[in-house]
Amino acid sequence: MQCFTDHFRRDRPQGKVVGGVNEDGIKRQGVDVEKVIGIDHGALRIRPLVGAGWGRCGLVYGQYERESGLTFAVCALNGHNTSQAEHLGQSLVRRLGRWAKGSEAHSMMHNLFAWLRHGNKRQLAREIRRWIWLNRQAPQNPLELDENLMLGWFDGPVPLDYRGAGNCFVMHASGPENGELWMNACKAPLPALRSVQNLPIYYIVVLRECGAAYYAASMPQARGLPGFPMMRPLAIDAVCEANPVYPGLYQSVLGQIGFRVDTRVYRTQVARLPELAQWFGTAHAAAMLQGRGQIADVSAEVGGDWTVYDGSLLPEMNGEQTAAAENLVMLDPGVATGLLHAVVGLEPGSPAAGLAWRFQDCRNHWRLVFSRNACRLMLVYQGRSHEVAVESKLSSSAAKNNSVQILDDGLTLQFSLNGQLLFGGSIADDRLAESTGVGLIAGETVAEEFCISHFEAHPRELPIPPALDLPSPWCKNGDSPAVADGFVAPAGPLEARKTNLGNRSWRRQIGDGFFDLTGQGSVRVRAGVDKPNPGRTVYLVDWNQPEFADVAVTLTPPGKRRGEGERCRSGLAFWQDEDNHILINTWLDDGYGGASISSFFRLNGVEELYDAVWTNVGDRVVWGQQFRMRVAFDGMCYLVSVNDEPVLFRALSDVRPETVPLKIRGVGLLANWEWGNDTGTVFEDFKALARSSTP
C-alpha cells in the first residue's frame, strides 16, 4: 500500500470521516459508532463519547505488510491527557444546577438567557446523556478506564484493547500529574514519561523486522521531550511480529469528571525511511554481537572500534563469553546516550554481566548488572563503587532472550526488563550525565549460557527525518515591551494606579473583590481563609495591539502547606468585551493532591462551565512558593507556561468551532471562582509584550 500524508484540509461533518478518502485517495477506515469524528479548521476533531470504551472511535488507514523503516507519524493534541471514565460524584439534578449557576460571575437567569440565545442545545443534550451514562455505569460496573488514547501500528483494524495491540503509544491518566505516556514493548505497556502536559505531541513509530522504535517530540521547553524539529528516542520493542499491520489512532474516553474537551489531530503520515531500515535504526553505537573472535578485533556496526578495559569479551554465537576477572569493553559515540537497549540471556549458573553507560573512565561510570536472580544498579564514581538499587526477584519468565532498556535524559534514569519497570520507577541522578561512553561488562566465569546481543545506544535527541511532513508547532512570542508594572508604591488600592511602563491605568473591570498594593512591590488579593475573595474579580489595563499579547506575572499562592485551608485561584485575563474574554488561573486546593492551570471562556455572551480546559501540573505550583505564569494569545490560540515550561495549549475553535478570533482590548490580573475562591494570592512583576513585526 502506498505512503501518504493526511493534512485534513477539507472540512467534513461529524460522522462523515470514516469511510471517506483523503486528498491522496487513501481510504479513511476505522470505526465511529457515535459519529464523533469530523474535520474542521485544518485538523481532525474527536468529540467525547457518550459511552466510553475501546473499539468505538478510531481512524485507521488500511493494511500494510511489516517492513523495516516503515513509519507512522502523528501530530496531535489529545483532549486531556488525564481523561478517564469515572462517576461524577453528584446527581444529574445537582450537575444541571451547577451548570446553570456557571462561574457565578453572572446570575443564573442571565446565564440561561444567554445560553438560550447562543448556546449549543445539541451539545448540551449530548452532555446530559454522557453524564447519565457515567453515573449509571461507574457504580455498578467500575470501568477502571484510565487509558484514553492509543496510536501507532495495530495488529488489526479495530483493536479492542491497548494491551498487546501492536506497536503503539498509549496515554494513561495519572491524576495530579496529568498524563503518563506508555509504549507497547514486549507485549506490555511500558511507561516512559510522567506528567505529560496538554500540549501538541509528535508521535513517531518506526517498524522493524521484529518490533519497533518509538520517538516523540513536543513544543520547545516541554518537560521530557525536545522541541520540534528534534525528537527523543523513548523505547525499543524487540518482540512484536504482527503482520499485516494497520496505522491509526483510537480514543476511548475524553474529559474528566464530566467536563468535555475535544482531541485535535493536525497530521498523520505513513512513510518509508530507508535510512532507518537497518536493525539499529537511529543508534549512534550498535553491535549485533554475533559470530566468533576477539571483540577488540571487530568494529561495531555503528560507533567504531571497541576499547577494552580490564580484559576482553569474545562474541560467541549470539553473545559474549567472559575471559578475564572483569571485562569492560566500550564504544564512544561522542554524544551522551539517551536510550540503551540490548537482548540479554539469563540462564541458571550465568555470571554477573550487563551494560555500562555514562562512561568517563574505569573509575567513573554507571553499570546495570544482571545475574539469574537479581539485577543491580551500580555507580562507579571517583574510583568507588556504590550500589544504587537492587531488584532481587526478577520475573520468572526471564530466560534466554530478555529485552533490557535504559532511558536516560541526563537528569533521571529508568530501567526495564521485558517491558516491566525495575527498581520501582525512575531514579533521579545527574552524576556523569554528559559522559559519552557505552558498552558491556561481565565477570570472570566463562559461561556459554550468558549472552548479550543486539546492543544499541541512541542519542538523547536527534532531528526528525525530513521525509516526515509534520507541521511546526504554534509558537508566538512577544518581543516588544509595551506595559510593565513592578507595583512599587505605598500600600493602597490598585484601582487607578499608573503602570511603570506604558502609563496605563489599572481598573477593576468586573467583580466585587479588591486587589491592593502591599507597599512591598506587589499586589495582593484582599482575602483570607476566613473571608475569601467574593467571586470572579478582574483588573485590567488597556491594550493597543488587538491581534496579540504575551503577558506574564509572578504569583505566590497563599499559605505555607496543605491543610491550612488556603486556596489559589489567580492568574491572567485577556479581554475583548463583556461577552468575549478568556481567563487563565491556577487551581490549588487542599482537596486534591496537586495543582492545575485552568482556562475559562466567555464567547458570544455564553460561558459553558463544563467547557473549561485545564492541565494538572503536579508540584509545579505549591503553597507559598513563587512561580511565573506566562500566557501568549493571538485572539485564537493560547499557550500557558509555568516557569518557562509550556503546560497548556488550545485554540478557541477547539472549544467552540464557530468562534472567530477575539480582539484583545485589555490584559490584566484575575482572581477567579473555580469551586472555591482565592484567599490572598500575591502578584509581582507584571509584564506584557507586543510583537514588533509579523514573521
State pLDDT tens for residues 213-249: 999 999 999 999 999 999 999 999 999 999 999 999 9
Query: What rounded mean pLDDT belongs to the chain?
Result: 92
Model confidence over 328-371: pLDDT tens digits?
889 999 999 999 999 987 765 555 678 999 999 999 999 998 87
CB-CB neighbours of 20 under 10 Å = 12
Q: How far apart are CA 81 and CA 308, in angstroms?
A: 46
Q: How far apart are CA 356 and CA 428, in angstroms?
A: 17
> Does residue 469 lie in a domain region?
no
> Does residue 537 lie in a domain region?
yes
Question: Are 513 and 628 in a shared domain?
Answer: yes
Give the pLDDT confidence score for residue 398 in this predicted structure: 54
- Closest to 655 (Cα-Cα) out of 683, 597, 614: 614
Question: Are 151 and 269 in a shared domain?
Answer: yes
> Considering the entire predicted model, what is its pTM?
0.95
Q: How far apart are CA 608 and CA 99, in angstroms?
A: 7
Do the Cβ atoms of 106 and 152 come closer than 8 Å? no
Q: List the helix and strand counts (H, then E) for the chain.
A: 4, 48
Give the pLDDT confidence score for residue 583 in this predicted structure: 98
Q: Which residues pair with 492 in a beta bridge?
A: 517
Percent of the chain scoring above 90 in pLDDT: 79
Q: Which residues pair with 403 in a beta bridge?
A: 343
Tell me which residue range forms the domain holding 234. 4-84+147-273
pLDDT band (50, 70, 90) for residue 392: confident
CB-CB neighbours of 290 under 10 Å = 13
Do the Cβ atoms of 670 and 583 come closer than 8 Å? yes
Q: How far apart are CA 51 and CA 48, in angstroms?
A: 9
> Does residue 464 lie in a domain region?
no
Check residue 606 and report its DSSP letter: B
Question: Are 396 and 328 in a shared domain?
Answer: yes
Do the Cβ atoms of 83 and 172 come closer than 8 Å? no
Q: Which residues pair with 670 in a beta bridge?
A: 538, 571
The three cell numbers locating residue 522: 506587589
Question: Are 165 and 217 in a shared domain?
Answer: yes
Question: Are 429 and 306 in a shared domain?
Answer: yes
Q: What is the CATH number of the domain that holds 409?
A: 2.60.120.560
> Does residue 473 lie in a domain region?
no
Average pLDDT over residues 396-424: 88
Do the Cβ atoms of 671 and 583 come closer than 8 Å? no
Give the pLDDT confidence score for residue 347 in this predicted structure: 64
Mention every residue, 6+ apart, whose C-beta is less than 8 A from residue 543: 482, 483, 549, 575, 664, 665, 666, 667, 688
- 349: alpha, beta or left? (left if phi > 0; alpha if psi -120 to 50): left
Question: Are 506 and 609 in a shared domain?
Answer: yes
Question: Are 121 and 155 in a shared domain?
Answer: no
Tell me which of 212, 238, 273 is where a domain ends: 273
What's the 3-state SS for 67-108?
A: CCCEEEEEEEECCCCCCCECCCCCCHHHHHHHHHHCCCCCCH
Q: How far apart are CA 103 and CA 582, in angstroms?
A: 13
Specify the number of domains making up the chain.
4
> Does residue 620 lie in a domain region?
yes
Question: Are 97 and 221 in a shared domain?
Answer: no
Tell how strand 70-77 and strand 263-272 pair up: antiparallel
pLDDT band (50, 70, 90) for residue 28: very high
Tell me which of 213, 248, 273 is where a domain ends: 273
Give the pLDDT confidence score for residue 98 in this predicted structure: 92
Q: What is the dihedral of CA 114, 119, 125, 130, to 10 degrees?
A: -100
Model confidence over 504-529: pLDDT tens digits?
999 999 999 999 999 999 999 999 99
Q: Which residues pair with 629 in a beta bridge?
A: 553, 642
Give the pLDDT confidence score for residue 447 in this predicted structure: 40
Question: Are 531 and 633 in a shared domain?
Answer: yes
Tell me which of 423, 458, 493 is where a domain ends: 458
CB-CB neighbours of 520 under 10 Å = 12
Question: Are 118 and 252 in a shared domain?
Answer: no
3-state secondary structure of 353: strand
> Does residue 58 lie in a domain region?
yes
> Does residue 467 lie in a domain region?
no
Question: Are 153 and 293 in a shared domain?
Answer: no
Q: What is the CATH number of the domain that holds 623?
A: 2.60.120.200
Q: Which residues pair with 369 in a beta bridge?
A: 354, 376
> Does residue 463 lie in a domain region?
no
Question: Are 76 and 151 in a shared domain?
Answer: yes
Does a cis peptide bond (omega within 30 degrees of 0) precede residue 229? yes
